[in-house]
Amino acid sequence: MEKRKKEPRLETRTGCEARMDVKFVPENGRWHIFYFSDEHNHDLLDTQFSAMLPVHRKMSEADIMQMMNMLKSEISTSQIFGLLANQAGGYEFVGYSPRDMYNEITRQRRQIPGDAARVLKKLEDMRLKDPQLYFKSCQDSRGLLRNLFWSDGISQLDYQLFGDVIAFDAIYKKNKYSCPLVIFNGVNHHKQTIVFTAALIVDETTDTYIWLLHQLMFAMKGKTPTSIITDGAMTISNAVRDVFPEVRHRLCAWHLIRNATSNAENPSFISKFRKIMLGDYEIPVFKHKWVQLIEEFGVEDKSWVNNMYEEKHMWATAYIKEKFFAGFRTTSRCEGLHSVVVRYVGSRYDLTSFVEHFQRCVAHLRFKEFNADYESTCGVPVMQTCIELLERFAAELYTNEIFLLFRPFLSRVGSMRVLNIENNDDCIKYIVCNHGRPEFLWTVEFCQEEMIFMCTCLRMESFGILCEHIVKVLVDRDICEIFRLLLLDKWTKKVKPALNDPSGFSRDAVVISR
């Protein structure tokens, strides 16, 4: 079949001699017509079409600004044209065509030659509005942009409050160049995901991730996280070990189970492995159950099994239950964040458009936090337990989301028993068990002088919320409030106002300036 050729443009030139020539006369400062001819060799255009002549078609600055703002909100060009036509009173009064809009969009995006130069100029412009914004680029020997890292002022303030636990991994094919996007995120006082930094990279080598972690430290003024959760990729693990040798590094449980599934392909093995990984065992019990698992399925010689056991301190609850991970077990928060990000960015976006739309995504997440702040201040949950004074104290202290996580522990206090109390010089030991199940024991130590409580379940250390065992002791001692040392500021309503930067720079100032 013969390929169809594009039809040539319509011929509009007729060699018409009609014209008017004018010249400026300096002596009198006026323009004079020195030639005029109105003899046309064609029919004149109907006056209703005069606005469509190329010389008359031009978008106003107001229309251009309105169009570009609507494009940032993912409104299509055809819809924008319809809206502008409605404002003008009809399509015939717009004064330009959709093609003129497309041409103007192209001109707006090509004001600075080179995509890399445009995105750097964009970040420079953003820093004029947000002086605390930090960005860093890395170029190769040919001068081409390799890595781009950025973090705005609000994200840096959020990191000071919530940067104790961070998670990160890469998301792919969300920009024109298919560069991986790496997002460092954490959890705020409403258990919501928040973004600390973002970066576009060209590869996922150990050196690249080392560069990213160094930029994270510089942007956050040297504050080191206490815990990091990753998917276990070797390049990421090596980079974390190099930059943060003292930081607790936890491997994503979901990725570990997937790895076990691909290697074992036995549903029974996967089920028991998952139970051993997440089970709240003591270390000797974990070791015993692991040996039983290996012998039962005959995988003693499997290298991946031996490698996993060598890294047990990075994934087994028995080894990390006393370490604080803010409730993180997997990088699912990263996956959930990716599902939000893909609503705002796409594979057709250049770097500049990508940064613009990604920041819109961050703004959306911050609005969700703002709304949760409002919900936590406009009322108190209805009391539902018999320990009303302690419940009310917690409800006024914690955000709504954290309180709803804490209330079940209050409810379970009724099923707890104190089997024995040991009085020592320094502290009092309470032996606590479940009603009717004395074989499950926990020891709660109470140091009266420092007002410190410690429980062998280690839930306070791993999540920052009181366990039912400590609450049982509080109730037995007729204590109706949660002591300061039993509170984690991260989960309270007052955590944001508590931030006091000595430089005078505050989150509110950033919001107002933006």
Span 390-431, pLDDT tens digits: 989 999 899 999 999 899 888 888 888 888 888 887 888 999
Task: Determine the angle formed by the axes of helices 388-397 and 400-412, rounding to 10 degrees.
Answer: 160
Mean pLDDT of 141-148: 75
Q: Which of 248, 250, 229 is nearest to 335 (CA)?
A: 229
111 pLDDT tier (thresholds 50, 70, 90): very low
Q: What is the mean pLDDT of the chain?
A: 81
Q: Of 8 and 376, which is predicted with more confidence?
A: 376
CA-based torsion, 458, 459, 464, 465: positive or negative:
negative
Residue located via tokens 């070990």: 241
The rounded distance, in Å, linking the Cα atoms of 113 and 123 is 16
Q: Tens of pLDDT along 113-144? A: 577 888 888 899 999 999 999 999 887 665 67
Q: What is the model's pLDDT at position 210?
A: 93
Mean pLDDT of 83-103: 80
Give yes or no for residue 358 having a pLDDT over 70. yes
Taking phi first (over 0 means left), then psi (-120 to 50 degrees means alpha), and beta for anything else, what does residue 163 get?
Answer: alpha
Interval 273-290 mean pLDDT: 85
Report the distance separating Cα 210 and Cα 215, nearest Å.
Answer: 9
- The mean pLDDT of 14-43, rounded to a whole number, is 80
Q: Is the pLDDT of residue 94 over 90?
A: no
Q: 115-252+330-367, superfamily in CATH?
A: Ribonuclease H-like superfamily/Ribonuclease H (3.30.420.10)
Q: Which amino acid is at 419?
A: L
Query: Counting runs of H as helices and runs of E as strands, what totals does the chain give?
Result: 19, 13
Give whole-number Cα distances, 430 to 387, 436, 456, 457, 468, in Å. 20, 17, 11, 13, 13
Pinpoint the alpha helices (H) of 265-320: 267-278, 283-297, 303-310, 317-320
For residue 56, the model assigns a pLDDT of 61
Give the mean model confidence (pLDDT) for residues 150-168. 92
243, pLDDT greater than 90: yes
**Residue 74 vs residue 128, higher pLDDT:** 128
- Predicted pLDDT at 366: 92
Q: Which residues pair with 183 in a beta bridge?
A: 169, 198
Structure tokens that stand for 163 in this block? 């940067």
Q: Which two tokens stand for residue 77?
A: 């060009």
Residue-level length of the chain: 514
Instruction: Report which of 182, 178, 211 is spatially closest to residue 195, judged by C-alpha positions.
Output: 182
Q: Which residue reads 């990160």 in tokens?
A: 168
Q: Check residue 509 and give its pLDDT.
A: 46
Q: State the average pLDDT over residues 493-509.
A: 58
Distance CA 501, CA 492 (A): 19
Region 84-111 average pLDDT: 74
The confidence score (pLDDT) of residue 362 equals: 92
Each domain of the chain, given as residue ranges in start order, spans: 19-109, 115-252+330-367, 267-326, 388-491
Contact 455, 444 (CB under 8 A): yes
Mean pLDDT of the region 470-499: 84
CA-to-CA distance for 385 and 387, rounded, in angstroms? 5
Query: What is the structure's pLDDT at 175?
Result: 61
Q: What's the pLDDT at 497?
A: 72
Closest alpha carbon to 459 in 390, 384, 405, 393: 405
The answer to whether 178 and 347 are in contact (CB under 8 A) is: yes
**Apex CA 141: angle with CA 137 and CA 147, to 5°?**
25
CA atoms within 13 A on the CB side of 250: 31
Instruction: Determine contact, residues 464/492, Cβ cutoff 8 Å.
Output: no
CB atoms within 10 A of CB 287: 15
pLDDT of residue 219: 93
Q: How large a percentage of the chain has pLDDT more than 70?
A: 86
Phi, psi of 162 (to 5 degrees): -120, 10
What is the structure's pLDDT at 512? Answer: 46
- Give the DSSP letter string of 437-467: EEEEEEEEEEETTTTEEEETT-HHHHHSS--
